[in-house]
């Protein structure tokens, strides 16, 4: 395969060979095969797609990693040949196994997307020949910088117009940036294995994962956590509201889609069972928002009736989740210091932020929502507290006092520690 003609679908198909391991192609002494790994939707509790992974071996049987294979190939020569041959092998193996539903995820190097119309035509020919509709194909673009981002953006938009799904791969590595997410608006962002490992570590603040996923969701994309190797990692991703997951814990790559998916149903049941247990178990008791709402309304009514914030705060602190009470006027200005449930020594790191009276909180979502619907409790969070430097939620309700509108606000935590009664 030395000419451009050889790299057309018509030129490649004669080189496809079938054996007990499936369809494969031998190129420059390297055998290219497919393996598939299931992708699970947490919400739908089922497999919704499969990533096609390249498996390459030398003539003597030695395994060569795909990234090594592509790293030594030039952009417009062998790299293009490898990409097309691998994609043809993946399509052939996927189509033969008759998966009637689910996406097929295939990788693409950004530099190869610049090939232009010929690249688009080749993908279209593959879809037509193997009977895989465009809407079932997810093109994973490896998160690497491009020398021509405007050209890259146009190519992605062209793919989207043809009903292909776009995924940004390896998000969380050194090349990751939100700028590309805002511009490209991918359908899916795949969180890199290295990022998953960090955010799921015992010492990590798991709220970071939640906030990252929330930000990506607000950018209009679904989020997939890849490389999940433990149940603890999976629990972190579930709590962060990740949409999809893949990894060894759910299913190891295999040439057979059926074999790769064999353990997934039982693992899905297992992960949801543990998630439900962790949501109601000890030592962390999850917040009951009904209780918080009752506490906020009780405190607000007490403040309205007595004009005594300290008394209203004590009424609010009957809720175990409440941590801090403060009041702002209709402009968001705070006129008197916050009252904490458990007064603590002021953090030296946050000293410039105190006292907190004369602060303005009108930019906060809880203030805007409370002002938009007086009498109804609005909740925002989790967000970083400028009072104690920790994540918290804030609930607020607008009341009328002395002919003026004020907003009664309560910071609270998402869970509280429950003592182990068996140890007493």
What CATH number does residue 73 fall under? 3.20.20.450
Residue 374's CATH number: 3.30.450.20
H or E element that contains 275:
helix 264-280
Is residue 28 a part of any domain in this protein?
A: yes
pLDDT band with cut points at 50, 70 and 90 for residue 4: low
The number of distinct structural domains making up the chain is: 2
Q: Answer yes or no: do 203 and 347 share one domain.
A: no
278-281 LR contacts (CB < 8 Å, sep 24+) = 278/235
Give the model's pLDDT for residue 347: 61
Distances (CA, A) of 25 to 14, 104, 173, 404: 10, 20, 31, 77
Q: What are 70-83's pLDDT values in tens digits? A: 877 765 568 888 88
Give the model's pLDDT for residue 420: 44
What is d(CA 244, CA 246) in angstroms, rounded to the nearest whole number? Answer: 7
Q: Answer yes or no: do 97 and 161 share one domain.
A: yes
Q: Answer yes or no: do 122 and 196 share one domain.
A: yes
Is residue 422 a part of any domain in this protein?
A: no
Q: Answer yes or no: do 214 and 343 share one domain.
A: no
Q: Answer yes or no: do 239 and 324 share one domain.
A: no
Q: Answer yes or no: do 246 and 368 share one domain.
A: no
The torsion defined by the Cα of 122, 128, 130 and 132, in degrees rounded to 10, comes to: 100
Q: Give me the mean pLDDT over the 396-417 stretch.
A: 87
Q: Give me the mean pLDDT over the 388-414 stretch.
A: 89
Q: Answer yes or no: do 264 and 410 share one domain.
A: no
pLDDT band with cut points at 50, 70 and 90 for residue 178: confident
Q: Answer yes or no: do 245 and 367 share one domain.
A: no
Is the pLDDT at 176 greater than 70, yes or no?
Answer: no
In 3D space, the residue among 63, 73, 84, 65 whose CA is nearest the CA of residue 4 turns out to be 84
Secondary structure class of 246 (helix, strand, coil)? coil
Q: Answer yes or no: do 241 and 294 share one domain.
A: no
Q: Answer yes or no: do 293 and 394 share one domain.
A: yes
Q: What are 150-173's pLDDT values in tens digits? A: 777 777 888 888 889 999 998 887
Domain encompassing residue 214: 5-280
User: pTM for the complete prediction?
Assistant: 0.75
Give the model's pLDDT for residue 119: 62
Find all residues with CB under 8 Å of 376, minimum gap 6, and list them.
Answer: 370, 397
Q: What are 199-241's pLDDT values in tens digits? A: 888 877 777 888 888 889 888 899 999 999 999 999 999 999 9
Taken in order 249, 252, 253, 257, the sign of the CA dihedral is negative
Instruction: Please identify, among 222, 251, 280, the residue that sits at the C-terminal boundary of a domain.
Output: 280
Is the pLDDT at 311 greater than 60, yes or no?
Answer: yes
Q: Give me the mean pLDDT over the 39-67 stretch.
A: 93
Neighbours of 25 (CB within 10 A): 21
Is the pLDDT at 284 greater than 70, yes or no?
Answer: no
H or E element that contains 53:
strand 46-58
What is d(CA 170, CA 144) in angstroms, rounded to the nearest whole number? Answer: 9
Give the model's pLDDT for residue 174: 62
Q: Answer yes or no: do 275 and 291 share one domain.
A: no
């Amino acid at each position: 395969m030395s000419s451009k003609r050889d790299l057309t679908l018509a030129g490649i198909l004669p080189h496809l060979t079938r054996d007990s391991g499936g369809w494969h192609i031998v190129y420059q002494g390297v055998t290219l095969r497919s393996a598939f790994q299931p992708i699970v939707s947490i919400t739908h509790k089922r497999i919704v797609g499969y990533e096609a992974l390249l498996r390459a071996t030398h003539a003597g049987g030695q395994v060569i990693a795909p990234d090594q294979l592509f790293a030594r190939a030039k952009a417009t020569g062998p790299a293009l040949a490898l990409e097309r041959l691998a994609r043809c092998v993946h399509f052939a193996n996927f189509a033969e196994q008759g998966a009637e539903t689910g996406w097929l995820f295939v990788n693409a190097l950004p530099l190869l997307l610049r090939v232009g119309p010929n690249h688009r035509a080749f993908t279209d020919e593959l879809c037509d020949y193997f009977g895989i509709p465009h809407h079932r194909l997810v093109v994973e673009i490896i998160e690497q910088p491009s020398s021509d981002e405007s050209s890259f953006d146009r190519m992605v938009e062209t793919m989207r117009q043809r009903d292909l799904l776009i995924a940004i791969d390896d998000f969380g590595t050194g090349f990751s940036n939100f700028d590309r997410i805002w511009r490209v608006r991918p359908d899916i962002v795949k969180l890199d294995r290295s990022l998953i490992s960090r955010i799921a570590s015992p010492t990590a603040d798991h709220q970071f994962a939640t906030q990252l996923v929330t930000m990506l969701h607000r950018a209009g994309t679904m989020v997939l956590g890849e490389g999940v190797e433990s149940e603890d990692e999976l629990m972190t991703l579930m709590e962060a509201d990740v949409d999809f997951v893949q990894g060894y814990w759910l299913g190891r790559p295999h040439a057979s889609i059926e074999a790769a998916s064999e353990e997934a149903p039982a693992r899905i049941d297992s992960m949801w069972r543990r998630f439900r247990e962790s949501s109601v178990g000890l030592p962390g008791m999850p917040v009951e928002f009904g209780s918080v709402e009752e506490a906020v309304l009780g405190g607000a009514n007490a403040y309205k009736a007595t004009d005594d914030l300290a008394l209203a705060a004590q009424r609010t602190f009957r809720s175990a989740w409440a941590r801090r009470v403060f009041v702002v006027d209709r402009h968001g200005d705070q006129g008197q210091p916050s009252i904490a449930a458990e007064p603590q020594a002021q953090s030296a790191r946050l000293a410039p932020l105190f006292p907190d009276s004369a602060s303005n909180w009108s930019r906060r979502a809880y203030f805007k929502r409370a002002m938009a619907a007086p009498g109804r409790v609005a909740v925002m969070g989790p967000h970083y507290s400028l009072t104690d430097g920790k994540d918290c939620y804030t609930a607020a309700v607008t009341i009328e006092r002395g002919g003026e509108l004020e907003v009664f606000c309560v910071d609270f935590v998402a869970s509280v520690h429950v003592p182990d009664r068996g140890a007493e």
